Amino acid sequence: MQRIGVFICHCGTNIAGTVDVKAVAEALSHEPGVVFSTDYQYMCSESGQQLMREAIREHKLTAVVVGSCSPRMHEATFRKAAAAEGLNSYMVEIANLREHVSWIHKDMKEATEKAIILGRTAIAKVHLNTPLTAGESPVTKRALVIGGGIAGIQTALDIADAGFEVDIVEKSATIGGKMAQLDKTFPTLDCAACILTPKMVDAAQHEKISIYAYSELESMKGYIGNFKAQIRRKARYVDETKCTGCGICTEKCPMKKAPNEFNMGFDKRGAVYIPFAQAVPKVATIDADYCLMLKNGKCGICSKVCGVGAIDYTQKDEIIEREYGAVVVATGFNPIDAKVYGEYGYGTCPDVVTSLELERLMNAAGPTNGTLLRPSDKAHPHKIVFVQCVGSRCTETDERGKPYCSKICCMYTAKHAMLIREKYPDTEVYVFYIDVRTPGKNFDEFYRRAVEQYGVHYVKGMVGKVTQNGGQLHVQASDLLAGEQLHIDADLVVLATAIEPDKTARSIGTMLTASMDTNDFFTEAHPKLRPVESPTAGIFLSGVCQGPKDIPETVSQASACAAKVIGVLAKDKLLCNPCVAESDELMCNGCSACEKVCPYGAITYADKEFRGPNRTTLVRRVASVNPAVCQGCGACTVACPSGAMDLKGFSNKQIMAEVDAICK
């Protein structure tokens, strides 16, 4: 029989205002095993803890029940106090008398009755508690960053600067991500390439950073501190170690029909290409879909002109294995396909472009060398209509779009409008908006400048339809403030398309068993207090993969993420949560039900020898739980049909004892 002490907290008047705390302490003092029961004004205070410690000493308590606030708040506090008196931390139970009782009830009689029941429940459970000890696991002191955009680069640089090795795995031929495609950045209008490319070079030159570009994560096993990854290094058909990035092959390649992704398909590139002048790593890549040599075995010009013999048509994909202590997801975003909004004419009218396409049309390194020319006839547009919220903030009935605000569009549209008015004052610019959302340092001032100084026409209302009418676009829209229909003959229409997580995010999330929301953004461990960690231990989130963000916010989050990773890598050993599932091998029937429900991939099956009757040996397939991966959610214990799976600290027996106590 346990010797149990009961400590009922007043929480000032938070609990005592609604619950008769003295009556609760009195009632619980008669429960079996309770040798001490008291109440106190602030149990969590220094003197409250002192009171508990003295009682443990004096009454030789073996278990403690605290009736207080939620365990989320002070469980750790009370466990520490008990441990200081030599009690195992897991012999402390909390009855939540604040969030579950006083804050949600008004009637003192009812509330007191409920408080007593919850106290009894905790007592019933603590009778069955057993001391638990946290295990330890070692830490591989290297981090993996998936995605080499500004988020991944920043996280990698910060981790590397702290002295730890980092690998960046990037699926395209160069790191840099979306930011490399941008022209200017709001609100200071500095050139994106000017601030990004030095960071790309820093990452490439850092002795602690290895960049695996043109590579993808193939598989991931393991748990915090001990991940094992397979990385597919896709065949570039160019030896990265030999290629100097001179570009002679890209010039001489006769196959110039591949759409140039970096310029959003506005121009063509060769089958062998370097995405852009500042690419990192600056090596050529052969596009197997277009290369004449790889397709028909005829050509080979690039190989002939290459001075260092870097071209290798026989190259194959290569799988490498690496070990990591922590994994950072920085998979970023893509604009949605604007074609789903047929009413805006994207895809059918060449002069309807997306904002990212406009970035390339205005970029000095873009297809028009920075002169704004419309795609259809390369003429200078004199009237431009911007449509905001294309696919953002959609109601449930609009399945084509996203329910969320994409966050960056208001600011970049203001930027585009301002830059166009600055460079081409003869251009009339309209912006159609639902709301203009510009919180952020110097953001609203920026937007107001577009309106007040640059004379951009902001119209509250949405565009209903864009049609091609000869060489012009006809825009039908509503002006909600004036209450009238507008018909504008425009030369160029720019759609501020919603952003969505990269298509690869879902498969990476599955590989990492990192949870995602319905929009495929990665879920954080706590939306306010743990924003850069995934609920899966050892997986960290950087940038837009977690939710829409602009560049300053992405960089902040990337650095925060690095700090969390460093926190893991700096440890030699990690303490594990002891409240994990455990399988009773003698009862396990090998059905795999637990393995299927485990969201963390903590359960594995193996054939194991057991002693059978008459000195025979039986081989049975049984489950085992990796305690370092298990997060103690308990899903497996419910799924297990034979009752073999149990959760330490929350065993089936303990839960049933609690239910019995409530129903008594």
Partner 1 sequence: MKFSYFPGCTLKTKGKDLDIFARKSAEALGFALCELADWQCCGAVYPMAKDEIATKLSSVRALVSARDEGQELVTLCSACHNVIKQVNNDMATDADIALRVNNYLGLDTPYNGETTVLHYLEVLRDRIGFDKLKAAVTNPLKGRKIAAYYGCLLLRPSKIMQFDDAENPTILEDFIRAIGAEPVSWGMRNECCGGYIAAEDKAQATKRSNTVMEDAAKNGADTMITACPLCLYNLAKNGGSDLPVVYFTELLAEALGVK
Closer residue to partner 1 (CB): 341 or 540: 341
State in angstroms the smallest separation of the CB of 352 from partner 1: 12
Distance of CA 569 to the CA centre of its chain: 20
Closest to partner 1 by CB, 244 vs 469, is 469
3 state DSSP class of 386: strand
* DSSP per position, 133-195: ---EEE---EEEEE--SHHHHHHHHHHHHTT-EEEEEESSSSS-TGGGG-SEETTTTEEHHHH
Q: How far is the CB of 349 from partner 1 (least distance, A)?
A: 9
Least distance from C-beta 399 to partner 1, angstroms? 8
User: Which positions lie near partner 1, rule CB under 8 A?
Assistant: 341-343, 348, 465, 467-470, 474
> CB burial class (10 A; 0-12, 13-18, 19+) of residue 504?
middle
Give the residue with the Cβ less far from partner 1, 290 or 341: 341
The residue among 188 and 469 lying less far from partner 1, judged by its C-beta, is: 469
Strand ordering across the sheet containing 352-354: 352-354, 492-497, 383-390, 428-433, 457-460
Decide: helix, strand or coil at residue 81.
helix
* Residue with Cβ nearer partner 1 (371 or 467): 467
What is the CB neighbour count within 10 angstroms for residue 190?
11
Q: How far apart are CA 394 and CA 606, in angstroms?
A: 48
- Least distance between partner 1 and beta carbon 345 (Å): 8
Q: Cβ of residue 337: shortest distance to partner 1, in angstroms?
A: 14
Task: Please list the residues that pair with 34 across neighbouring strands.
Answer: 4
Q: Contact, 234 vs 287, CB < 8 A?
A: no
Contact 594, 628 (CB under 8 A): no
Minimum gap (Å) between residue 344 Cβ and partner 1: 9
Bond preceding residue 281 cis, omega within 30 of 0 = yes
Amino acid at residue number 497: T
Which C-beta is closer to partner 1: that of 105 or that of 474?
Answer: 474
Token match 């200017």: residue?
184
Read off the tokens for 424. Answer: 């081409």
Task: Using the minimum distance from each CB to partner 1, give the nearer residue, 483 or 613.
Answer: 483
Residue of 109, 78, 80 whose CA lies nearest to 95: 78
**CA distances (Å), origin 575, targets 133, 156, 565, 572, 579:** 10, 25, 16, 10, 12
- The CA distance from 205 to 211, in Å, is 10
For the CB of residue 395, give the shortest distance to partner 1 in the complex, in Å.
Answer: 14
Q: Which is nearer to partner 1, 144 or 338 (CB)?
A: 338
Residue 576 DSSP symbol:
P
Q: Which is nearer to partner 1, 107 or 343 (CB)?
A: 343
Task: Please give the C-alpha separations between residue 570 and each of 137, 138, 139, 209, 324, in angstroms, as whole numbers.
Answer: 13, 11, 9, 17, 13
Pick 474 or 608: Cβ nearer partner 1: 474
Q: 283 vs 338, which CB is nearer to partner 1? A: 338
Q: Are 39 and 21 in contact (CB under 8 A)?
A: yes
Minimum distance between the CB of residue 467 and partner 1, rounded to whole angstroms?
A: 3
User: Residue 125: phi, psi to the nearest 5?
Assistant: -70, -45
Minimum gap (Å) between residue 461 Cβ and partner 1 = 18
- Contact status, residue 469 vs residue 489, Cβ threshold 8 Å: yes
- CB nearer partner 1, residue 315 or residue 476: 476
Q: Which is nearer to partner 1, 220 or 495 (CB)?
A: 495
Q: CB neighbours of 369 closer than 8 A, spacing ≥ 6?
A: none
Check if the beta carbon of residue 597 is closer than 8 Å to that of residue 639: yes
User: Closest distance between partner 1 and the C-beta of residue 551, in Å?
Assistant: 34
Cα(294)–Cα(346) distance, integer angstroms: 34
Least Cβ distance, residue 348 to partner 1 (angstroms): 6
Q: How far is the CB of 469 from partner 1 (least distance, A)?
A: 6
For residue 427, the minimal CB distance to partner 1 (Å) is: 23
Pairing of strands 4-9, 63-68: parallel
Helices (H), 520-642: 551-569, 593-597, 635-639
Q: Residue 141's closest CA among 173, 166, 178?
A: 166
Identity of the residue, 16 or 352, whose beta carbon is nearer to partner 1 in the bound complex: 352
Nearer to partner 1, 341 or 521 (CB): 341
What type of residue is 77? Answer: T
Work out how close the CB of 456 gets to partner 1 at its nearest, in angstroms, rounded to a whole number: 26
Q: Between residues 347 and 455, which has the closer beta carbon with respect to partner 1?
A: 347
Cβ-contact 533, 525 below 8 angstroms: yes
Helix (H) or strand (E) holding 541: strand 539-541
CB of 334 to partner 1, least distance (A): 22
Closest distance between partner 1 and the C-beta of residue 92, in Å? 53
